[in-house]
Copies of this chain bind each other. A is one copy, B any other.
Amino acid sequence: MGLIDDANREAYERLDASNPALTDVVFAKDVLPDIDKYTVSHAGPPITWERMSGPMRSAVMGALVYEGLAETREEAAEVAASGKIKFRPNHDCGCVGPMAGVTTYSMPLCEVTNLTYGNKVYIAFNESDIRALCFGSADPVVIPRLHWFEEVLGPAVKDALAEMGPINLKAIVTKALTQGEELHNRIAAGSVLFFREIAPTLVRTVGDRAQLQEIIDFLAPSDYFFLNLGMAYGKASADAIKNIPYCTVVTAMSRNGTDFGIKVSALGDRWFTSPCPKVKGIYFPGYSEADANPDLGDSAITETVGLGGCSMAANPAMVHLFGAESTDVAQDITREMLEITVGASKDKVIPNMNNQGIPLGIDIRKVVETEICPLINTGIAHKDPSHGQIGAGVSRAPLSCFQQALEAFAESLG
């Protein structure tokens, strides 16, 4: 077992030493491999149009309208079903996205570079609205906002980064952990820390005063903008531990709304899947559990690197979302996650848990042995197309994914 423990220790050290920074804004068409107008990347493991959940289908429809491949959502559904569209997981082409996570050709993407290891990942801008493509919303605000990202926000952030240099995401994540956030359910402090970081340069570099106003008006009030950057922080860190021989640490946990999938370091890009679990949470007025789609999104990449549910103690107020009486439950959850991880971070700590380091490096062996599955914080999408966000809560990664992966790992050892 020495080889495995050594490999896992290496993975843990790399996760903790990772230093992701926002380095550029680029277009999907220029950076994602083998992409054309008919390519749609999505959250979670691979899935066909036929098996897609309502919110993901809905997001695909919106994206095809955005790309000009259809005039209407109905027409888009026909195009999507026609076989002309190449669907593929974000995780398999270097990016991630929250909820449906649909990423297409014309979208501007944030480029996040792990400055320690040099690897790059990509993610679209957060829409900062419950009426969002990623939630499958068909609201008329959705598509124009995507065009505004392409024409205004993307170029402006690109220019600002060229002027100011990279924005250190690890610093923001580390600080937000001390400001009551676990960076998945709650990213308000992270969002405003990002805003204060970039705002002075935007004022310097955005020549058009009306555009500057639009950008500041969009970024300043957002409590969610940093969600996507935190996810890219997660993937940029997790990608640095891919393909370590003998390593049983999870490198991705992700859901397409139908299937939940994980990847494991030593097993490369192979997915181990199981049906998506239900989400336990609270709902916006007018919605209930009966309306909820099962767990959805690449956002569990935050838990993969010790944020979100793993760091619940950093956001104790959240435990009321799933009915806990006392916020002490938050620390119990983080302690539980420490049982299935290789170690605790040396520099990303939770002050109100006596500076406990966040749990790092989910070991499939420990998950299978203890039957403690990673707890995941998440938003909730409506199960039918065309709605937006309807709530927020928690899920548990399915044990079966970890069992299958452990079996495959045992086989790989021969």
Inter-chain contacts of A203 with B (CB < 8 A) = 203, 212-213, 216
- Return the chain B residue nearest A222 by Cβ: B196
- Return the chain B residue nearest A191 by Cβ: B196
Inter-chain contacts of A326 with B (CB < 8 A) = 354
Q: Mark A189-211, 1 if CB is under 8 A from B, else 0.
A: 10011011101100110000100
Inter-chain contacts of A217 with B (CB < 8 A) = 200
**From residue A197, how far is it (CB to closest CB) to chain B in Å?**
8
A220 touching B204, Cβ below 8 Å: no
A352 touching B179, Cβ below 8 Å: no
B180 touching A178, Cβ below 8 Å: yes
**From residue A321, how far is it (CB to closest CB) to chain B in Å?**
12
CA distance A364 to B197 in the complex (A): 44
Q: Mark A327-352, 1 if CB is under 8 A from B, else 0.
A: 11010000000000000000000011
Count of identical protomers in the assembly? 2
B189 touching A216, Cβ below 8 Å: no
Inter-chain contacts of A166 with B (CB < 8 A) = none
Please classify how large the interface on chain A is, using the bins under 10, 10 to 19, 20 to 34, 35 or more.
20 to 34
Q: Does A355 contact B (CB under 8 A)?
A: yes
A213 touching B200, Cβ below 8 Å: yes
Set B200, B209, B328, B352: member contacting A316, Cβ < 8 A: B352
B204 touching A221, Cβ below 8 Å: no
Q: Does A317 contact B (CB under 8 A)?
A: yes
**From residue A351, how far is it (CB to closest CB) to chain B in Å?**
4
Inter-chain contacts of A189 with B (CB < 8 A) = 179, 189, 192
CA distance A330 to B351 in the complex (A): 11
CA distance A352 to B351 in the complex (A): 10
Inter-chain contacts of A216 with B (CB < 8 A) = 199-200, 203
Inter-chain contacts of A204 with B (CB < 8 A) = 213
Q: Mark A152-193, 1 if CB is under 8 A from B, else 0.
A: 000000000000000000000000001111000000010011
Q: Could you write out 11 A-B pairs with CB less than 8 Å apart?
A: A179-B180, A180-B351, A189-B192, A192-B196, A196-B196, A196-B220, A199-B199, A200-B213, A200-B221, A316-B352, A327-B353
6 more contacts with CB within 8 A, not counting A200-B220, A327-B352, A330-B352, are A180-B351, A192-B193, A196-B220, A203-B216, A327-B351, A327-B355
